[in-house]
């Protein structure tokens, strides 16, 4: 049975330019195509949670504009509770400009807008949410001060907190004290800790670093190599599924949301949940777009059943 999850985070409208290769500095290239779709790390993760079967709430902000209306309606189509998405009258809805090359790799420029203007006021009236949820997920496309306040409240309700520190920033030390599980990718991990993830020794050293900071549970996503995990019950590497990627946008977000949807709150099934998340991510990268590429629970289970 899936969890009940709240995602605190960013909401963006993604505009993707499809190119053969990335431009050099000062160079102008023609795009083969252009498309727009729902995105933002928070939104993507909530969609992955919902499509993986979790009852899902979203806590965030959009602007008083057409993009904000579009995003709320898109999330509601995935049965995400959007009643705690506030309206910012002064800042526009977040947007992202994605450049996607022929190999499925991307680079992304983000305008934070209402996401970055968010304050702790967004948490008002969220008491019933914290009463209902098993897990709270947050990222770094919204202010850390809001995440800290939300994690503090979550711990009062015995909610498991998952921090996806992306994009990597210096972390408010107090935030780590309220984080049950931290899930960076390998480059984010290195930026935060100063420890390069070149081998298993580096991964274990990183786990010790976070334990000293008060976090006993760590995931490091390693792209095609899989995911390293370290919990109270053990450490290990869950391999990735080998597929041909056409668009890696939202691959990590799909993994986080799908993983969280299946994770028991005592983390006793971490390998099983990681495998589910990895399979969901492998399906997402075979389709175009951020939220549109995220698979359903049935699609993931069918793919897992394949030999």
Q: Is 132 annotated as a binding residue?
A: no
Q: Write down the catalytic residue from 81, 88, 180, 253.
A: 253
Q: Is 101 annotated as a binding residue?
A: no
* Residue 126 assigned as binding residue: no
252 is in an annotated binding site: yes
Q: Which residues of 114-130 are buried (b: 16+ CB within 10 A; e: fewer)?
A: bbebbeeebbeebeebb
3-state secondary structure the chain: CCCEEEEECCCEEEEEEECCCCCCCCCCCCCCEEEEEEECHHHHHHHHHHHCCCEEEEEEEEECCHHHHHHHHHHHHCCCEEEEEEEECCCCCEEEEEEECCCCCEEEEEECCCCCCCCHHHHCCCHHHHHHCCEEEECCCCCHHHHHHHHHHHHHCCCEEEECCCCCCCCCHHHHHCCCEECCEHHHHHHHHCCCCCCHHHHHHHHHHHHHCCCCEEEEECHHHCEEEEECCEEEEECCCCCCCCCCCCHHHHHHHHHHHHCCCCCCCHHHHHHHHHHHHHHHCCCCCCHHHCCCHHHHHHHHHCC
Residue 170 known to bind ligand: no
Was 226 annotated as part of a binding site? yes
120 labelled as ligand-binding? Answer: no
Sign of CA dihedral 273, 276, 280, 281: positive
113 is in an annotated binding site: no
Please indicate if the annotation marks 44 as binding a ligand.
yes
Q: Are 206 and 193 in contact (CB under 8 A)?
A: yes
| Residue 188 labeled ligand binder | no
- Is 92 annotated to bind a ligand? Reply is no
| Residue 199 among known ligand-binding residues | no
> Is residue 110 marked as binding?
no
* Residue carrying the six token digits 């991990």: 189
- Is position 222 annotated in a ligand binding site? yes
- In the residue annotation, 121 being an active-site residue is answered as no
The answer to whether 124 is annotated as binding is no
Q: Is 63 annotated as a binding-site member?
A: no
Which residue numbers belong to the known binding site for K(+)? 247, 249, 284, 287, 289, 293
- Active-site positions read 253
Binding-site annotation: residue ranges for substrate? 12-14, 40-44, 141, 253
Q: Per the annotation, where are the binding residues?
A: 12-14, 40-44, 141, 185, 221-226, 247, 249, 252-253, 284, 287, 289, 293
Binding site, annotated residues for ATP: 185, 221-226, 252-253
């Amino acid at each position: 049975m899936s969890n009940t999850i709240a995602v605190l985070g960013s909401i963006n409208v993604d505009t993707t330019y499809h190119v053969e290769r990335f431009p050099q500095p000062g160079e102008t290239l023609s795009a083969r195509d252009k498309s727009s779709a729902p995105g933002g790390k928070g939104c993507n993760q909530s969609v992955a949670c919902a499509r993986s079967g979790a009852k899902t709430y979203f806590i965030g902000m959009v602007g008083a504009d057409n993009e904000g209306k579009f995003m709320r309606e898109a999330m509601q189509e995935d049965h995400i509770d959007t009643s705690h998405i506030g309206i910012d009258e002064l800042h526009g809805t977040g947007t992202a400009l994605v450049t996607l090359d022929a190999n499925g790799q991307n680079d992304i420029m983000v305008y934070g807008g209402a996401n970055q203007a968010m304050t702790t006021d967004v948490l008002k009236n969220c008491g019933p949410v914290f009463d209902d949820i098993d897990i709270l997920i947050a990222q770094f496309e919204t202010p850390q001060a809001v995440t800290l306040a939300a994690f503090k409240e979550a711990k009062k309700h015995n909610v498991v907190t998952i921090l996806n520190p992306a994009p990597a920033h210096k972390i408010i030390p107090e935030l780590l004290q309220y984080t049950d599980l931290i899930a960076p990718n390998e480059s984010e991990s290195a930026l935060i800790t100063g420890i390069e993830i070149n081998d298993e020794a580096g991964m274990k050293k990183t786990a010790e670093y976070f334990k000293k900071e008060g976090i006993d549970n760590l995931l490091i996503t390693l792209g095609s190599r899989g995911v390293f995990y370290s919990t109270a019950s053990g450490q290990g590497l869950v391999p990735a599924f080998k597929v041909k990627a056409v668009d890696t946008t939202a691959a990590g977000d799909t993994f986080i949301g799908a993983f969280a949807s299946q994770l028991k709150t005592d983390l006793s099934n971490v390998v099983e949940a990681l495998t589910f998340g990895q399979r969901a991510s492998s399906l997402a990268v075979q389709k175009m777009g951020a939220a549109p590429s995220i698979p359903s629970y049935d699609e993931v289970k069918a793919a897992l059943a394949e030999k």
